[in-house]
Amino acid sequence: MRALVGVGGGIAAYKTAELVRALAERGVEVQVAMTSAAQQFVQPLTFAALTGRRVITSLFPAAGGAETLSSAVEHVSVAQESDVLVVAPATADLMAKFAHGLADDFLSTAYLAFTGPVVLAPSMNNNMWLHPATQANLEVLRSRRHLIVGPDEGLLACGTAGPGRMSQPDVIAQAVLSAVNLRRDLEGETVLVTAGPTQEPVDPVRFLSNRSTGKMGYALAEAALARGADVILVSGPVHLTPPRGALVVGVRTAAEMRQAVLDHLERATILIKAAAVADYHVAKVPEHKVKKTSARLSLELDPTPDILAELGRKKGDRLLIGFAAETEGLQQEARRKLKSKNCDMVVGNLVGREGAGFESDTNEVILALATGETLALPPASKRDVAGRILDEALKLRLALHSAQ
């Protein structure tokens, strides 16, 4: 793998030498390009020694140097030969140039000529970072799906404290590898994900709900977007920022969730029901708040519509993935739901334990597959688990199609 590492003019440029080494240790071939400001902080020779390659220091060959066509269009050829563009430190100036498409030096010109994944490691004074201009540029760069690593908070070279320190070289190197490994294997798919809990009203101010935070469903939506899918996220009430690029449909009750799912079913090719839908709703919701008395109060509950089971009947050739949150008998329950709800995969997870299920950032799941197999995934972040679920979903579709 080849990385073009652009060094911006900031004090953190000295840490980029460590980054280059960390990338080389991971088997990445590195070509370094430095802005002229960066050369005020670190000598090109440092990077030449670390990479064994000439460092690109300017858009044009030195005055009086032998002008050749290849050196005149080096920004294009280097961009084409690189698998990833990493900019560290990404200064406020470079972020502004990239956001607005300015191309007045090698790095900003190569940025425009480059079509692959871009990783930016910002570093600057905290006020510069927090300035609305920089934050607006950041939004633009994020919307282009660039991977932004950091900045970290801490003491800055200018003597103040706050966000602005460049992330550690190892952290950036790891992000570079994951950016390159991202496949676009869901291009052309429309993934409909349901996430979060539902709230079933008891009266105008109270509701029945559960402890789902929506983290697993949101991680799935994010992973599917990153792999090129169109994503429709039907979300119950949660406190998460919706992933950029998803069509988000906010719902409250199971009945609303069912309607939103059916409204978008036509477009979807993969259905993932990660929501923790309430199984019961109050049969008759009073118009006014229920008054407190000392007498026992009973609620009469009716079952909610089972959306997953309905999708099992209507799915056609769509891939249908359900979830089973259980406190015991996980494998049997997951396999039973797979059959009874006509799913292609049921993701089973034990709830009520540390490090898995509701509220946790990590999860430990089993995947019951329609091929008859059941896989146990090792404990991992919900983001990694989401990636594995999508991997297995694509494999499963191939297996099911070739079995037909």
Residue of 256, 355, 272, 232 lying closest to 304 (CA atoms):
256
CB of 279 to ligand C5P, least distance (A): 6
CA angle 126, 130, 135 (to 5 degrees): 135
Q: At 365, list the tokens.
A: 């799941």
With respect to ligand C5P, which residue has the nearer C-beta, 126 or 253? Answer: 253
| In the complex, least distance from residue 367 CB atom to ligand C5P, rounded to whole angstroms | 13
> In 144-187, where does DSSP find H-type helix?
169-181
Handedness of CA 65, 70, 75, 79 (dihedral sign): negative
Q: What is the C-alpha to C-alpha distance for residues 20 and 55, in angstroms, rounded to an integer?
A: 12
Least gap, CB of 168 to ligand C5P (angstroms): 39
Kindly state the smallest distance separating residue 278's Cβ from ligand C5P, in Å: 7
Q: Report the SS3 class of residue 201.
A: strand
Residue type, 191: V
* Residue with smaller CB distance to ligand C5P, 12 or 257: 257
Which one of 96, 158, 180, 309 is the catalytic residue? 158
| Cα atoms in the 13 Å half-sphere on the side-chain side of 54 | 7
Distance, CA of 349 to CA of 327 (rounded, Å): 8
Nearer residue to ligand C5P within complex by CB, 72 or 375: 375
Cβ closer to ligand C5P: 199 or 304?
Answer: 304
Q: How far is the CB of 91 from ligand C5P (least distance, A)?
A: 46
Nearest CB to ligand C5P, comparing residues 42 and 345 = 345
- Who's near 291: CB < 8 A, 6+ residues apart? none
Does residue 343 carry a catalytic annotation? no
Contacts of 366 (CB under 8 A, 6+ apart): 330, 331, 334, 347, 348, 349, 374, 375, 376, 377
Residue at 216: amino acid letter:
M
Dist CA 401 CA 383 (whole Å): 27
What's the closest the beta carbon of residue 269 comes to ligand C5P, in angstroms? 18
CB closer to ligand C5P, 3 vs 319: 319
Question: Three-state SS for 231?
Answer: strand
Residues forming contacts to ligand C5P in the complex (CB under 6 A) are 194, 254, 273, 275, 277, 279, 304-308, 322-324, 337
Q: Which residues are catalytic?
A: 158
